[in-house]
Amino acid sequence: MEIKREQWGSRLGFILAAAGSAVGLGNIWKFPYLVGENGGAAFIVLYLICIVLVGLPVVIAEILIGRTAQKNPVGSFRELSKGNPFWIAVGGLGVITGFLILSYYNVIAGWSLGYVIESIKGSFRQFNDPESAGQLFNSLSSQPYWTLTFHAAFMILTVAIIYAGVTKGIERASKFMMPMLLFLIIVLVIRGITLNGAGEGVRYLLKADFSAISGKTFMIALGQAFFSLSLGMGALLTYGSYMSKNENIPNSALSIVFLDTLIAILAGFMIFPAVFAMGLKPAQGPSLIFNVLPVMFNAIPGGYIFRIVFFLLLSMAALTSTISLLEVITTFVVDEFNFSRKKVSVILGGIVFLIGVPSAMSFCGWQKFTIFGLTCFGLVDFISANIFLPLGGIFIALFVGWFWGTRKALPYLLEGTKNFPGVITAT
């Protein structure tokens, strides 16, 4: 007999869990350095266009598939396509992408947890330039012991939440962490923009120079929109599968997209004023937050506390994303093979940890081991985030817009939705 599928305890619970999935390292670690490398405000404008024109509709489509079928990605595509192998494979691609993203994402999440501990230990106190912080970063991330310990620790945290279930685990954790995250980030933004010399950073974020924009920048902005919204691999589909038919999908999607974008932009306002106040260059690349921020905190009163708070914030943001990744693959195995969630979450956590070891080791002696010129970390990141996610996004859009067909899909979207622009009278 089939066990009844769990459902979110409340609408807010769903929104915070889905926004928790969306808000993560992508917003706080990646978005600011992409802005710094790609022309500041002009990149932000481009990003916003991608979010509104591409991101929002695909978010709606993905949640709709999950809520209608009430299953994992593979099961949902199987049900709605009536067993068409191509679409089942699209669901399968999502599950594989979940495995891959979680395996390397968890390594960086582990670093941020490691930085909480280093901050408490006071390891950054004597630094006054990003070079020495950079050296510490290199020496920590190149120690297999340090990297693998925190990789494992972060996976244990993730498994613990998934083990507890949808409402007791994911929903409860998100309801606690998301408001705290928003609060902490606002505190840090206020701290950042009131620093001496912060004005230049604020101007940098507000003044758009469109000469920096090219086709490549556009692709980067689009890829970032997918990654940041957790789109294209079934994370939102899976969360949608726990949603009741009385909930309004377009409104929930709007809230999720709004929160994700707000936090990315706030992260920019948290970091750039501080970067400029310290007289540093905005284009620091991926090491931006790990090299610049620990030092920046030395320049401000109460820096010791702010630094701990910041890395705690980063870890929490990452955790609400890793749980959504583990949930996708867990629910797949639970639904399809009828195993218990508790066992599956622990076993899958172990497997993903192992798959992540080569990515972690890419910073600890395996730098020279490259495939197509990329380290294991770089390769897994590139394939999953730059190829599989956009591909999955295209398939989701084609599925709803063409295979299922908007006319057939619309009544399902309108369940729980009274007014949808243009189709108010369609029911």
Residue ranges in contact with ligand PHE by CB under 6 A: 21-22, 24-27, 101, 227-228, 230, 233, 235, 321, 324-325
Rounded to an integer, what distance in angstroms lies between the CA atom of residue 317 and that of residue 297?
Answer: 20
Our CB check for ligand PHE shows the closer of 289 and 325 to be 325
On the CB side of 183, how many CA atoms lie within 13 Å of its CA? 8
Q: Supply the minimum distance, in Å, between the C-beta of residue 199 and ligand PHE.
A: 29
The CA distance from 102 to 374, in Å, is 18
3-state helix, strand, coil in the chain (%, to 5): 75, 0, 20
- Residue 166 or 280: which CB sits closer to ligand PHE? 166
Q: Pick the closer one to ligand PHE by CB: 235 or 289.
A: 235
Least separation in angstroms between residue 320's CB and ligand PHE is 9
Query: Residue length, the chain?
Result: 427
Q: How far is the CB of 22 from ligand PHE (least distance, A)?
A: 5
Q: How far is the CB of 401 from ligand PHE (least distance, A)?
A: 22
Taking the least distance from each CB to ligand PHE, the nearer of 105 and 399 is 105
**In 76-96, which positions are buried (b, 16+ CB within 10 angstroms) versus exposed (e)?**
bbbbbbeeeeebbebbbbbbb
Residue closer to ligand PHE by CB (options 63, 280) is 63
Q: Phi and psi dihedrals of 133, rounded to 5?
A: -65, -35
CB of 30 to ligand PHE, least distance (A): 7
| C-alpha closest to that of 281 among 129, 61, 67, 90 | 129
Q: Which residues of 199-215 are buried (b: 16+ CB within 10 A; e: fewer)?
A: eebbebbeebeeeebee
Q: Which is nearer to ligand PHE, 235 or 288 (CB)?
A: 235
Task: Provide the minimum distance between the beta carbon of 175 and ligand PHE in the complex, in angstroms, as a whole number.
Answer: 18
Whose Cβ is closer to ligand PHE: residue 50's or residue 198's? 50
Pick between residue 236 and residue 295 the one whose CB is nearest to ligand PHE: 236
Q: Kindly state the smallest distance separating residue 235's Cβ from ligand PHE, in Å.
A: 4
Alpha-carbon torsion 181, 187, 190, 193, what sign?
A: negative
Contacts of 79 (CB under 8 A, 6+ apart): 69, 71
Tokens read off for 39: 């022309």
In the complex, minimum distance from the CB of residue 26 to ligand PHE, in angstroms, rounded to a whole number: 2
Roughly how many angstroms between the first and final C-alpha of the chain, as a whole number?
A: 35
* Residue recorded with tokens 């970390």: 377
